Amino acid sequence: MKKLLFILIAINLLFVACDDENSGTGSIQMYVEPEWTITQGIEAGEGPEKMHDGWSLSYERFVISLGDIYVTKSSENAKEFRMDNNYVIDLKNAPSSGLVVAEFSNVPSGDWDRVGYSMLAANSDSQKLGGISDDLFNEMVDHQLAVSARMVLSNPSGQVCPYDLEGDNPIDPQRPCIDRNEVILDWELPFPAKAEGCMTPSQVGLTVPSGGTAQIKLTIHADHHFFTAMRHTDIQRLAQPVIDADLNEDGFITLEELQQVPVAVLDPAVYDLSTFPQLETLYDYVRWTTITFPHYQGDGGCPERTPLDGGENLEENKHQH
């Protein structure tokens, strides 16, 4: 009887071992997807997903350089799965289903708690992904950009009140204003950065199913230039502080103009600048908000931000949803 029992146990273990061998691995498919703000724009209004000071936002162009995608574990000597390609992607005109940017096969099933990817400076090794035009691709590569965006802000009763940089108070309420119902932000953004520690509110990293595929969205948010803090709760989206940087009143706000405007023009009663690194100008504000574009699985985040153009790292603890 004991001999028969041992035989049955051995047979059972054999079947378990065979099952583990056949289904103990899975695969990962990662695709990049624009947030709805890029494709649909943001209307003016009072709701949580609106622009809150009367200006509406639309995107005429949004191109990003993306790559260096990896999955690993925080344990010592863990295996790493990495995609080293650098893709230049027109997210404004990307398919609604997104674009596949990385696929990993024969990945041991289970939890993988370290996921990261990068917005990279486009270069001669970059590749086109999706239906991007030659002109947009060459612009990104020639200027080594991480992002290129053209944004239109519109307001039927809008005004531009250029900051008074010659006076004692740049935001003097008596400074002159002009009527303008449309303003253009046509920005080439050379702010590459790593985004790591990607997570959702319920999980750090991802889980590979045995014999199946983990499908992961690398989601790009673009509206952070208008956030009043580096987080997604208890914030407003405001355009006026950027619009008032139209110092020459031509209807175009340039990065060069932003470099001239001290960050002190942002009302501390409205803006929580404690969630940012050291800022001196509105250009610094735009740089850091650009660095926080990469997200994960829709509303998830990647809180460890490392600028690849030098400068301070950011542990974005307050930025999670």
Q: Ramachandran region of residue 98, left (φ > 0), alpha (ψ -120 to 50) or beta?
A: left
8 Å CB contact between 173 and 99: no
Percent of the chain exceeding pLDDT 70 equals 89
pLDDT at 16: 40
What the block records as the tokens of 27 is 């695969």
pLDDT at 320: 39
Cα 82 from Cα 139, distance rounded (Å): 27
Query: For residue range 74-108, what is the model confidence (pLDDT) as tens digits?
Result: 998 899 999 999 999 999 999 888 999 999 999 99
Helix, strand or coil, per DSSP, at residue 178:
strand
Instruction: List the one residue out of 259, 264, 262, 315 whose CA is nearest residue 292.
Output: 315
pLDDT at 232: 76
Domain ranges of the chain: 26-319
Helix, strand or coil, per DSSP, at residue 188:
strand
Instruction: List the one residue out of 207, 209, 225, 199 whose CA is nearest residue 292.
Output: 225
What the block records as the tokens of 111 is 């939890």
Among 80-89, 206-215, 229-238, the least confident range: 229-238
Cα 68 from Cα 117, distance rounded (Å): 5
Query: For residue range 259-292, what is the model confidence (pLDDT) as tens digits?
Result: 999 999 999 999 999 878 889 999 999 999 999 9
Mean pLDDT of 150-177: 96
Instruction: List the one residue out of 221, 231, 154, 218 whose CA is nearest residue 185.
Output: 154
pLDDT at 316: 52
Query: For residue range 36-67, what is the model confidence (pLDDT) as tens digits?
Result: 999 999 999 998 899 999 999 999 999 999 99
Instruction: List the one residue out of 19, 56, 25, 22 whose CA is nearest residue 40.
Output: 56
Q: Please, which pLDDT band fits residue 1 given cuts at 50, 70 and 90?
A: very low
8 Å CB contact between 192 and 65: yes
Q: Is the pLDDT of residue 240 over 70?
A: yes
Cα 102 from Cα 62, distance rounded (Å): 21
Q: Is the pLDDT of residue 14 over 80?
A: no
Percent of the chain exceeding pLDDT 90 equals 81
Q: Please, which pLDDT band fits residue 171 given cuts at 50, 70 and 90?
A: very high
Return mean pLDDT, the chain.
Answer: 90
Residues written for the chain = 321
Cα 213 from Cα 162, distance rounded (Å): 53
Q: Is the pLDDT of residue 220 over 60?
A: yes
Cα 248 from Cα 153, distance rounded (Å): 17
8 Å CB contact between 50 and 237: yes
Among 221-225, 256-260, 273-277, 309-313, the least confident range: 309-313
Mean pLDDT of 278-307: 94
Mean pLDDT of 109-117: 97
What the block records as the tokens of 46 is 């009072």
Q: Is the pLDDT of residue 23 over 50?
A: yes
For residue 28, which amino acid is it? I
Cα 38 from Cα 21, distance rounded (Å): 44
